Structure 1
């Protein structure tokens, strides 16, 4: 019997006429309804004609999470006074409770995506409700785009509703074709905001890491809320690990029950949370409790202010969840949980001043997530680059290119981006394409049962207590009686059925992982003894499946860490069962705060044969000639990506490669590798001065310019060199002289414009120092310049004269000898003639006879 008493009080009822009119006239609508108004429960029942006098329709409600899908279906069935599966059912991955008379079916967006790929018309469905569209999950955005294609091309009568409590309503309205926005007014129970920032400084989240100081603070705020407020407490935390840590700090709460709610929680715990209890409760939850779920009895929310979002490190080839600050929209959703049934309060574990700096909405997954699965779905839909899909945000070009590269490597799409038959089959497995590849290909070597078991482990990361060794985790799951093991067995059954060929269909041949190598030619197969055949052990089977799923993460032990074929270096934890392995396949990794290397969180031992089989497309061999450790190194190398398999010295390396290696050495270590005599250094300085003073045609002799013109001045000596010692024998001055402007004839004026030496009044020829191209220097004894009436000049530039004492020490510096004789000489004479009485110190140096000699020598 329908529970009208519960239905009649749902505030969304007032928006139903407007919603019906929008669907009839425009074919779609955006429904904005606050939490607790009944948008997830009453609206589908009315649209299906199960409540009220509307037409009979079949309605599909798409939820972002399995727990929400189950809860919504059960709640609707309860409102109708029926069992789940009669008029209202649900389908989530691995579980379907839908009877033949069902008119409302609640599904996850992933399930709906698979259904659309199999049946683009979505036959028999009249209305699709995309619930909680504000969360911007990639599957939900993709489903919306596909549904709009279906509505435009095949099913104009299909009705679409985008529903949420907090969303970009106008953006969704434009996307759905300028449809109306229908708003429902909720029963507004006031929610008091209590700002409760930590007293001690807290480090910002990084990767999956959350500062333990913050978690301790959250636990203390929960205790504070219990003491200050009535009712149950709902505490939002970013992940399962943080929930467990806070739960461990909430011991000794007396009669208060502590419950943990997340996607991995046992169904019994989820049901207990959603059905209420006799004792006061603290419910620790991830974002699954933000929307679609009503947790009865909650009057207080404690918000850690953190959430988890997918991120991709393309440089390291790692995909993982990252801890981020929750958006303002998420904060409103969370706070609303406290006011669904009565006035409440939200304790926010951050300062009020920080709130305005938070992002308005969560980052759309399409902007930050791995797009490999999305790219395959788009290709199978007929739009490989997704350019024709109606999306609120277009996919980033770089991420799509990376995704397509992965899909080509695993044989899911061809070079034109179109899906292969294999790719179509992968897209219907309900798995990431990497895992789909591993499931299909590994089954030929290890059997479909074991392949399904390992892929099930990889599709939902096992609990930390299972360890980081995938083979050990498999054994733990097989014997385990925990909630994870139960879900794992269900997934194994689903995968085994999904991967089985259709009756009468030929069995797929395994995909040839040995694609063309970077050196050209085929990749040599591993020795037969190293390859899997017959009845492989579990350890080998697990390693093969993991390596096929993540071929670029196959890694070889080097020193105390592992080098992946992608070039990323990774470390395993102390006591890990992987530590002594020569090769591993890394399934899950992250990068700790401040660490230069990735950290392996889940991996499997493999041998070199498996590594070659799985990562065959990354195999290469060839000659490597480079500058290393101060000389030319020539090797014949066999590579698996960045990992060296074998190295042999290379004799008679190709001259062009040697030449490039020598140039690399000159770039790294400079032209000091050549033989620079004193004359060669002076030549370079003189050329540098003329280039600075006169410009072309005098050559630029800076390092960069010499590298750019190396063919003009360092040949043929460079062509004959094979190693560092040969460079050290090259006369740099002789080579540099080739850059003089011989063709224009200006080279003949070189000694005139930048003479190496200048004759001074005494008759001595003194070397000019051109080290500073702006101010050439002439260092000469003062007595040798007597009688000079002007300063010497080169290329029209007066040189700076360093007048030296008889001992060769600077006595004065000038570029204007006339002024010095008149004004500065007297002071120098007064200071030095007593110290050097044997040398001449005339009163009028401008008219005195220049000399290199002492007074005694002059008298003789």
Structure 2
């Protein structure tokens, strides 16, 4: 029996006529409806004709998470007085509850993506609702782009609804072809905001780590909320580990049930959270509870202010979740949970002053995630560059290029065109990351479908931390585990085994992929992990340190069973902020043969001549990527390789490796002065410029050198002469434009110091400059005159002799004539005769 009384109370009902009109006129619409208005439950029922007087139609609702898909389907079935599998059903990975009369099917976006690849027309589907599109999951963005292609090319009558509580409505409207925006007004119960920052500063999150002090504070705020307000408390935390820690600190709450809800929670726990409790409850949840789900009885929200987002280090090939500050949009969604049924309160565990500095929306996953799966989906769709896909945000070019390189290495796409191969289509159909699909198909041929599927299932959803970091031990723990993870793991194993059995991955090798081969667990675990992540194969450096073939250094934790492994297949690793090395979180022990097989494209031998430890080092090296397998000295390296090694040394240590006489140093300084003052054709003789023109000035001496000692014998001054502008005749003016020495009034020729190219320096005894009123110039630049005492010590510095004779000389004369009475100190130096001699010599 339809629960009409409940349906009539849902606020979104008032927006249904406008939504119908928009779909009939445009074929697409954006539905903005606050939390709790019924957009996820009532709208699909109306569009399917199950409620109201509309025609009977088939509606597919896409949700970003499995828990939300199940909950939405069960809620709609309950509103119709049915059970899931009747008029309303759901399909998530590994579970399908749909009957012959199902007209509303709730699926995850991943399931819909696979369905579109198999059947681009979505035959029999009339309407697709993309729910919670504000979350900007990569699968959801991809599904939207594919559906717009379907509408444009195959089925213009297919109707699309982008639905969300907080979203960029204008952006989605443009994406859907200037679709109408329909807004539903909710019955907004007031939510009091309580700012509850920690009393003392806590360390900001980095990587997966959250300061335990913050989690203790969150637990104390939950206790405070229980004491200050009635009703259940919903507490948002970033991940499973943090939920477990806070739950442990709340274990002694009398008369209050503490429930943990997240993607890994058992179905029974998830169902219990979504049903009214008999006792007061504290629900500790990840972001899965931000939207789509209504947790009855909640009057208070405690928000830690943290969330998890994917991040990819393309340079090191490491992908992981990282803890970030939740966006303002997420904060509004979370707070709205407290006011769905009645007035409530939200306790925010940060200062009010910080709120305005938070990002407005979460980062679109396409901007930060590993794009290998997206690139494979785009290639299967026939658009390898994703250039023709209607996306709110274009994929970053560098990340997409890196993804295509990975796919080409896996044989999923053609390296030249990017088009999907037959193998790539089979990999896409496996419903796991392309790396894992490759390991599943290739590993099944050697180890059998089920053993391969067991390890791939373990890698497709990272096992609980208490399973340890040894992949083989984790595999055995999953087999005997009766926890929620173990149940999901067994379900996924069955699905993956069926996917292999339906293909032909083992025919060429003569091994039936559907049968186990009796290989040991450790062999299978290492084989699958190394096939999935060949660039993460790593060899020991001793003491728990490893070097991956990609060049990334990694470490295992103290006491790990992986500590003494000669080789590792690293399945999961991250690199905490500020850490020098990656951290192995899940890996398998392998032998060298397995390493060589998995990373075969990186296996090579050759002559390597380089600059190391301050000299040319020549070796014949067998290596697996960055890992050196065997090394022996190379007696007669090729001249070209030696020359490149010497150039590397010059770049690293500078041209000081050459022989620089005083004349050579001064020539370089004079040329630097002329280049700065006059420009071309006088050459730039900086380090970078000399490296760029090495062929012009350092040959043939460089080609004859074989070691560092030979560089020290090359006269740099003679080589620099080659850069002088001989062709135009300007080189002949070098001594005119930048003379080595200048004649001074005494008749001496004094060496000019060009070490500062901005202004040359002339250091000369004061008495030798008597009678000279104008400061000497070089290339139009007044020199800086360092006037020296008779003992050669600095007495004064000036770039204006006339001014010095007039104003500065008197003070110098008064200070020095008593100290040097044998030298002349005339009262008028501007008219006195210059001299190099003492008074006695002058009298003679």
The answer to whether TM tops 0.5 is: yes
CA distance in 1, matches of 2:242, 2:534: 31
Question: Equivalents in 2 of 1:540, 1:399: separation in Å?
Answer: 33
- Residues 272-671 of structure 1 aligned to structure 2 (within 5 Å): 272-414=272-414, 415-501=416-502, 507-509=506-508, 535-560=518-543, 561-671=545-655
Q: CA separation of 1:177/1:655 partners in 2, compared to 1, >3 Å: closer, same or farther?
A: same
Q: CA offset at residue 716 of structure 1?
A: 2.2
Q: Distance in 1 between matches of 2:187 and 2:668?
A: 86
2:179 aligns with 179
Residue 535 to residue 778, structure 1, CA distance change in 2 (3 Å): same
Larger deviation: 406-415 or 339-348? 339-348
- Please list, as runs of the form range in 1=range in 2, the aligned pairs for 1:776-787 lying within 5 A after superposition: 776-780=760-764
* Corresponding residue of 2:77: 77
Q: Helix, strand or coil: the match of 1:623?
A: strand
Contact 1:756/1:768, CA 8 A, preserved across alignment: yes
Instruction: Sort the Cα spacing of 1:13 and 1:721 in 2 relative to 1 into closer, same or farther, 3 A.
Output: same
Secondary structure of residue in 2 paired with 1:275:
coil
- Match of 1:600, SS state, is strand
User: How far is the alpha carbon of 1:266 from its aligned partner?
Assistant: 0.8
Instruction: Give the Cα separation in 1 of the matches to 2:484 and 2:336.
Output: 30
Give, in whole Å, the separation in 2 of the partners of 1:210 and 1:801: 64
| Higher deviation after alignment, 52-61 or 484-493 | 52-61
Q: Is the 8 A contact 2:572 2:584 kept in 1?
A: yes
CA distance in 2, matches of 1:540, 1:623: 34
Residues in 1 aligned to 2:190 and 2:828: alpha-carbon distance in whole angstroms: 102
CA distance in structure 1 between the partners assigned to 2:813 and 2:185 by the alignment: 101
SS at match of 2:583: strand
CA distance in 1, matches of 2:842, 2:22: 118
- Post-superposition Cα deviations, 1:540-581, rounded to whole Å, max 9, x if no partner, equal 211110111111222222355222222222221111111211
- Paired position in structure 2 for 1:102: 102
> Is the Cα contact below 8 Å between 1:787 and 1:850 reproduced in 2?
no
Distance 1:622 1:136, change over 3 A: same
- Partner of residue 198, structure 2: 198
How many angstroms apart in 2 are the aligned matches of 1:218 and 1:549?
Answer: 39
Alignment pair present for 1:702 and 2:686: yes
| Contact in 1 for aligned 2:826/2:832 (Cα 8 Å) | no
Aligned-partner Cα distance in 2 for 1:844–1:363 = 78
For residue 519 of structure 1, what is the aligned residue in structure 2?
Answer: none
1:118-157 superposed Cα distances (whole Å, 9 cap, x missing partner): 1222222222222222222221222222222223333333
State the shift of 1:2 in Å: 2.8
Aligned to 2:113: 113
Between 572-581 and 341-350, the greater mean CA deviation after superposition: 341-350
CA drift at 1:598 = 1.7
**Which residue of structure 2 aligns with residue 521 of structure 1?**
none
8 Å contact kept, 1:440–1:510: no
Q: Distance in 2 between matches of 1:844 and 1:852?
A: 18
**Mean CA deviation greater in 538-547 or 120-129:** 120-129
The CA deviation at 1:694 is 5.3
The reply on whether 1:135 has 2:135 as its aligned counterpart is yes
State the 1:493 CA deviation.
Answer: 0.8
SS in 1 for 2:274: helix
Q: How many residue pairs were aligned?
A: 836
Q: What is the aligned partner in structure 2 of residue 516 from structure 1? A: none
2:656 alignment counterpart:
672
Q: Which moved more, 1:841-850 or 1:202-211?
A: 841-850
- 1:48 aligned residue: 48
Residue 77 of structure 1 deviates from its aligned partner by 2.2
Match of 2:513 in 1: none
Shift in Å, 1:659: 2.0
Deviation at 1:833, TM superposition (A): 5.7
Instruction: State the 1:497 CA deviation.
Output: 0.6
Q: Residue 194 of structure 2 contacts residue 346 of structure 2 at CA under 8 Å; is this kept in 1?
A: yes
SS where residue 569 of structure 2 aligns?
strand
TM-score by length of 2: 0.92
Counterpart of 1:225 in 2: which secondary structure?
helix
Moved more, 134-143 or 468-477: 134-143
Q: Compute the displacement of 1:470 (Å).
A: 0.7
Q: Distance in 1 between matches of 2:16 and 2:774?
A: 103
Q: Contact (CA 8 Å) 2:442, 2:505: kept in 1 or not?
A: no
CA distance 1:62–1:660, shift in 2 (3 Å)? same
Q: How does 1:139-288 map to 2 (within 5 A)?
A: 139-288=139-288
CA displacement, residues 723-776 of structure 1 (integer Å, 9 cap, x when unaligned): 111111122233333444444445555455555455667666554444445554
Residues 696-730 of structure 1: CA deviation (Å, up to 9, x unaligned): 55444433443343333322222211111111112
How big is the shift at 1:426?
A: 1.1
Partner of 1:62: 62
For the 8 Å contact 1:441–1:510, the answer to whether it is kept is no
Q: Is the 8 A contact 1:378 1:384 kept in 2?
A: yes
Moved more, 639-648 or 779-788: 779-788
Q: 1:716 to 1:255 in 2, by over 3 A?
A: same
Q: What's the secondary structure of 1:120's corresponding residue? A: coil
Aligned to 1:517: none
- Inter-CA distance 176–670: structure 2 relative to 1 (3 Å threshold): closer
8 Å Cα contact 2:822-2:838 kept in structure 1? no
Unaligned runs of 5+ in 1: 512-532
Superposition deviation, residue 691 in structure 1: 4.8
SS at match of 2:408: helix
* Mapped partners of 1:133, 1:430: distance in 2: 21
Is residue 58–residue 103 contact of structure 1 (8 Å, CA) maintained in 2?
yes
Shift in CA distance, 419/852, structure 1 to aligned 2, threshold 3 Å: same
The 1:496–1:627 alpha-carbon spacing in structure 2 relative to 1, beyond 3 Å, is same
In structure 2, relative to structure 1, the CA distance for the partners of 1:781 and 1:138 (3 Å cut) is closer
Q: Deviations over 1:234-282 (max 9, x none)?
A: 1111111111111111122111110000110111111111122211110
Distance 2:644 2:591 in 1: 36
List per-residue Cα deviations over 1:280-337 (Å, max 9, x = no partner): 1101111111222221211111122222222222122111122222223322222222
In 2, the alpha carbon distance for the partners of 1:258 and 1:43 equals 33
Q: Is the 8 A contact 1:804 1:812 kept in 2?
A: yes
CA RMSD of aligned residues (A): 3.0
Range that drifts further, 814-823 or 751-760? 814-823
CA contact (8 A) 1:762 1:852 kept: no
Comparing 485-494 with 306-315, greater Cα deviation is found at: 306-315
Taking a change above 3 Å as real, the CA distance of residues 71 and 834 of structure 1, as seen in their structure-2 partners, is closer
- For 1:799 and 1:25, locate their aligned partners in 2 and report how far apart those are by CA, in whole Å: 83
